[in-house]
Amino acid sequence: MHLPSKVTICEVGLRDGLQNEARILQTSEKLDLANDIIDAGFKVIELGSFVSPKAVPQMVDTDQLFSSLNHIDGIEFRALIANKKGVERAINCGCRKVKLNVSASRQHNLANLNMTPEESVAGFEEIVNIATQNGIEVSGSISMPFGSPWEGNIPIEDVQSIVEAYLNVGITEISLSDASGMAVPNQVYSMCCIMQERYPQVKWWLHFHNTRGMAMANILAAMQAGITQFDSSFAGLGGCPFVPGATGNVASEDVVHMMDEMGIETGIDIVKLIELSKKVRQIVGHDTDSYILKAGRSKDLIKR
């Protein structure tokens, strides 16, 4: 089995995890969680999104989070944006990394934006130019590349067409995001191998939801294909608003525990991460999709 010696994990709980929660956290609570994330060893953190607070009220204070945390060296703080206004907010609060997103589902994109995915990405060119002129890095994300509730499986040619549209506007860091939770390991392995061979200039990330219990197996398949960068969310928080029954992102503590047990370096302290996720579960006030929070580490079972 071919596996990497080291992986990078981005904690997305402050954005993708909290954006679906009924309770809106205070800025001070988010900053407390952000500091715990940093203390646990994460070097890449998605702090929030620059979107309309009317649409996503949980993200209303993303600007304040960046202003409060920008002074910390050695951490990549990133945010999701949707339009020109988003990048302008990023500039004003000192954000240095933003991510754009488009759906691989043509039906979904046409219904919501009246554009094909490629047309959506082409429209990002002005945003990328503004960001670059202001020293902000831009990455891209493709939602539902493995399958959507509308089309079922997405042809890989459609995904490649979106990748090429991103490359055309100067974006070379791309995430494949299984927001619908429809990916399966052999499909993940095949797509990752094909994409890396065809687009060696791209820095790839994988983002899995655990809706059907496939996320950990999909991460393993992606690693076997050579992928070393993954998103995850504390306590397994998150969801997908347009997919009925969708559960959260794969839990950060589940991913780090698996890496630890397999001897793969993450730079993350699993004990601190578990305590953080327990705190998150208490804050949101409901059970979450995390095996490690339920069962503990394998090492915890060993009688000494």
Place of tokens 């006030």: 285
Number of domains in the chain: 1
Which domain covers residue 29, as residue numbers?
8-301
| Residue 133: predicted pLDDT | 98
- The 10 Å Cβ neighbour count of residue 23 is 12
Query: Taking Cα atoms as reference points, which of 262, 202, 263, 207 lies closest to residue 231?
Result: 207
| Residue 240: predicted pLDDT | 72
Asked if the structure places residue 270 within a domain, the reply is: yes
Strands (DSSP E) along 104-183, which ranges? 137-143, 173-178
115 CB-near residues (< 8 Å, 6+ apart): 109, 123
For residue 240, indicate whether it is catalytic. yes
| Residue 14: predicted pLDDT | 98
Place of tokens 């934006």: 113
Query: Of 10, 95, 192, 240, which residue is the catalytic one?
Result: 240
Strands (DSSP E) along 116-235, which ranges? 137-143, 173-178, 203-208, 229-232
Give the domain CATH number at 17: 3.20.20.70
Asked if the structure places residue 156 within a domain, the reply is: yes
- Secondary structure class of 101 (helix, strand, coil): strand
Asked if the structure places residue 3 within a domain, the reply is: no
Asked if the structure places residue 196 within a domain, the reply is: yes
Asked if the structure places residue 51 within a domain, the reply is: yes
Structural element, H or E, at residue 221: helix 215-224
pTM of the full predicted structure?
0.96
Asked if the structure places residue 2 within a domain, the reply is: no
Task: Compute CA distances 270 → 42, 75, 203, 237, 249, whole Å.
Answer: 11, 18, 26, 17, 18
For the chain, which residues score pLDDT lower than 70?
241-245, 303-304
**Tens of pLDDT along 18-45?**
998 999 999 999 999 999 999 999 999 9
Place of tokens 């061979």: 197
Nearest-Å Rg of the Cα atoms of the chain is 18
| Residue 239: predicted pLDDT | 78
